[in-house]
Every structure is written in structure tokens, then in C-alpha cells.
Amino acid sequence: MRYSLRIASVLTVAGGIALFAMLSDQAILPASDIESARDLGRQRTSTTLASDSAAESVRLSSVYKEILTVGKGDTLMAMLVDTGIAPASADRAVRTMSRIYKPRRIKPGQDIVLSLKPDLRAKSVELMAMKISPNVERDILVTRTAKGFQAKAVDRPLTKVAMHASGKIDTSLYVAGVNAGLRQATLAKLIQAFSFDVDFQRDIRRGDAFDVMYEEYRDEDGAVVKSGDILVAELTSSGKTSRLYRFETKDGFTDFYDAKGQSIRKALLRTPIDGARISSSYGMRRHPILGYNKMHKGLDFAARRGTPIFAAGNGLVEYAGRNGGYGKYVRIRHNSTFKTAYAHMHRYGKGIRKGRRVKQGQIIGYVGSTGRSTGPHLHYEVHKNGRQVNPRSIKLPSGRKLKGRELRTFKAHVAALEKQYVALTAQQLADRR
């Protein structure tokens, strides 16, 4: 048996099956009891009183819980049969679940929670209920009924909580965010919010600071299971402070705006990577490998292997693969005018392939040294009308400016966010005392 098996608790069924109320953690079922339930052909002899025999019968008819952890190469059908479930019953359960969730989507490391009941006559165990959690927000439940199995998807209750974090920047915004306890998804959103106007290589200095109010989702146990939206973000860089607010317009478009209602969004990010230095600028240079002067048609950002690379803008991936001296390479078409290219990657971002649409700030790959390269770095190009141009000199159009009633709505929204921010930071300060 390639998958791991963990026996959890004994549950008593009274008046029928209580679905996953049966899966509570009460008493532990001893190993000897499990063997008794599974080795159902073995008859016990006993000299105990009749009352003891009755108690034993009730105990062996109790429902118990097993947690199976999927291993590499495991199939749901085989796992259920190995547990002692009759093949015909296991097949019906799998077929029923397949109507709403395909078993092939189950991945190694995923847990499958079973509620089982010994079947003394059939010398097997009955599957009473099965739960699979494909993500933190949803459970797939398969339960036995009088008419057979039924399957349904159940949304898990998550609580949205507002949080606050701040910190001084020593080396990079990314490192400072990690030190402040921000999850990677939240940190990526924070970097993206300021990437339109901030060159993270040139503009960020030691002693700069950030401040952010954001949301996160917690499960019933209070554990953080999902990152939410950033509500307010502030960055102080080179003596200048920028404070941004998340706002959704009446047409359903969400963006970050400054206090005057000016969107910070531009066509392309200034830099597609955080915490990296420019090791080679755009222009003529002596090639470090070829040894002669050659036009360098992009920017090189020196960074540690594995550093995330962000899409500079919304667009369509028109190339993702090996490309000669570029190594692992991605090229994105943003519109009829602009394309961006990213070379020497260590690996591609999740789901990045030709024909895939990406959003600005999405991770498309990770820094590496593939192709003609002397060390880990990102080679970044901007193509305008089919020609490489200097990414640092191109002018980019400004985003949306709120007006009239929508601007008034935005300012009321900002006032509410600021009130929430003050209350949250005050509570945070009180908790520290």
C-alpha cells in the first residue's frame, strides 16, 4: 500500500448516518478493533457474559474514520478497495463522485477522509461517507443513502479578516514584506501596486518604508488559508510617500488610486522584478561570453536563482520555451504596439505556455542562468512595433482619472478605509501592550 493510513476516531451511529458529524475526533479505535472489523471471517469465542457479547456487537458495528493520504501512482478506486470496501461499492462511489469532481484531479499528498462501518455478513467494510477537499474553499462529499450514493460540493465557511503590516526596507521591499509576515500572494500584490511608478532597482533605498492594510481568509480553526485583497498601501521612497486605495468602479473594474482619484495603472511595469540590480544596461557593450562589442537590446537584472519574475502587463503569451542563447524564454504580446520578453529563466511560472493569457504582475517565471549566461539574472526586453527599445526611456500612458459622482463615491470609500485603518492599528497597538 503506497499511501499512508491514519486511523482517527470511533463514532457511534444513532438513528442513521449523520454525514460528517460522524467524522468528529472522540475516542481512538484500538488497532485490535480495526483488525476485528477487517478480518470479519474470524469468529470469536468467548466465555464472557451475554451482556458483554452484546456490547462487542455494538462496538463492531460502530462507524469509524480513516484518513488516506494519496501517494504517487495511487488511484482512488484502488485505495478504497485496499481499505476493505467491496469493489462494486467502491466503483459506485467513485462513479457518483465523478459527476461533480473527476478522480484524476486528486493529487499526491491530498487527504481522503472516509467514514466506514464493518459489514460482518459480507466480510468487508461499508463506505458510509467520503470527503475530498480540492482547495481551501470547497469540500466534495459522497454519502451513502437508502437509494445509493450521492455527491455534492459544499463551500467551506471562511472568515475574512482585515490585517495590518508595516516595516522598514533594508535590502528590498520583498524581503521587508517577508520579515513583516506577509504571505507571498499579498506581497506580490503590494509590489505590483507600486511597480508602475517605482523602479525597484534605482528608487528603493535603505531606510525606506511600507505600510499596508490587507485581507486574509481563515478557516473554522482560525488558520490562515487564503490571501485576500490589499485595501490600503503606502510606500515611502527617496523621501516621497505614495498612498494608494483599492477601489471598484461602477463598471466592475478594480484598480489602485491615489487620494485624488488618479489610477496608478500604466501599460507596463517599470521593472518586472523586485530586489534586483541592473547588471547591464541597454546599449553597446562588450559581450561577456562572445568577447566582442555587441548591441545589448535589453536590461539585465542580477538576482538570486528562483527570484519571481512578473508579467510587465496584461497580454497573451506568444512564446514560452527554449530560444537559443536566451535559454528558457517567455515573450508576451500586450497590444498591437508593445511586447515584452524575459530570458535565462530557471523555470516557468505555473501554467505559463503559448496561448495563455496573463495579468499584469502575475508570476511568469523565476530567475535562472539558462542559455548563454554567466550567472543568474533576468534579461528583459521591451519590443515596440517589432523593435527592441530601451525599457527605461519609453513613455507610458497614465491610467484612469475618476470624475463627478464616481469621484465622490471614491472619496467616501477612502474615508471609510481610513477609519478602518485607524481602528485596526489602534487595536494592534493595544494588543502589543
Domain 4-155 shares a fold with domain 277-389: no
Among 4-8, 66-70, 235-239, 293-297, where is mean pLDDT lowest? 4-8
| Residue pair 431/296 in contact by the 8 Å Cβ criterion | no
Average pLDDT along the chain = 82
Whether the predicted pLDDT of 12 surpasses 80: no
Question: Using the 8-state DSSP alphabet, how is residue 44 labeled?
Answer: P
| Straight-line distance from the first to the last Cα atom of the chain, in angstroms, rounded to the nearest whole number | 53
Give the up-direction half-sphere exposure of residue 120: CA atoms within 13 A in the CB hemisphere: 12
Residue 59 has a pLDDT of: 45
CA distance 51 to 28: 23
Phi, psi of 227 (to 5 degrees): -85, 145
- SS3 category, 246: strand
CA distance 367 to 224: 29
Instruction: List, for residues 135-164, the tens digit of each pLDDT value.
Output: 888 899 999 999 999 999 998 888 999 999
Closest CA to 238 of 211, 271, 202: 202
CA distance 105 to 90: 18
Average confidence (pLDDT) over 316-327: 95
Instruction: List, for residues 358-372, the tens digit of each pLDDT value.
Output: 988 899 999 999 998
By CB atoms closer than 10 A (0-12, 13-18, 19+), residue 136 is middle
CATH topology of domain 4-155: Nuclear Transport Factor 2; Chain: A, (3.10.450)
| Residue pair 346/359 in contact by the 8 Å Cβ criterion | no
CA distance 4 to 2: 7
Instruction: List, for residues 75-119, the tens digit of each pLDDT value.
Output: 999 999 999 999 999 999 999 999 999 998 998 999 999 999 987
Whether the predicted pLDDT of 287 surpasses 80: no
Give the up-direction half-sphere exposure of residue 104: CA atoms within 13 A in the CB hemisphere: 0
Instruction: Provide, rounded to the nearest whole percent, the portion of the chain with pLDDT above 70.
Output: 82
Average confidence (pLDDT) over 271-282: 80
Residue 428 has a pLDDT of: 85
Sorting pLDDT into bands at 50, 70 and 90, what band is 191? confident
Residue 51 has a pLDDT of: 45
Closest CA to 41 of 117, 126, 125, 123: 123
Instruction: Provide, rounded to the nearest whole percent, the portion of the chain with pLDDT above 90.
Output: 49
Whether the predicted pLDDT of 15 surpasses 60: no
Whether the predicted pLDDT of 23 surpasses 50: no
| Residue pair 272/310 in contact by the 8 Å Cβ criterion | yes
Q: The domain 277-389: what is its CATH number? A: 2.70.70.10
What is this structure's pTM?
0.54
Residue 194 has a pLDDT of: 86
- Specify the residue for cell string 497590444: 335
- Report the run of H or E that residue 170 belongs to, with start and end: none
Residue 120 has a pLDDT of: 74
C-alpha to C-alpha distances, 392 to 172, 182, 300, 304, 318, nearest whole angstrom = 20, 30, 12, 22, 23
Among 117-121, 239-243, 258-262, where is mean pLDDT lowest? 117-121
Instruction: List, for residues 372-385, the tens digit of each pLDDT value.
Output: 888 999 999 999 88
Sorting pLDDT into bands at 50, 70 and 90, what band is 40? very low
Among 10-14, 227-231, 378-382, 386-390, where is mean pLDDT lowest? 10-14
Average confidence (pLDDT) over 191-195: 84
Residue 201 has a pLDDT of: 67
Residue 250 has a pLDDT of: 87
Give me the residue spans of the domains in the chain.
4-155, 159-266+401-432, 277-389
| Residue pair 301/326 in contact by the 8 Å Cβ criterion | no
Tally Cβ neighbours within 10 Å of residue 216. 20
CATH of 159-266+401-432, picked from 2.40.128.90, 3.40.630.30, 3.40.50.10420, 3.10.450.350, is 3.10.450.350
The three cell numbers of residue 364 are 511568469
CA angle (162 as vertex; 161, 167 as ends), nearest 5: 130
Show the DSSP H helices in 99-227 as ranges: 173-179, 184-194
C-alpha to C-alpha distances, 323 to 27, 371, 384, 394, nearest whole angstrom = 60, 8, 20, 26
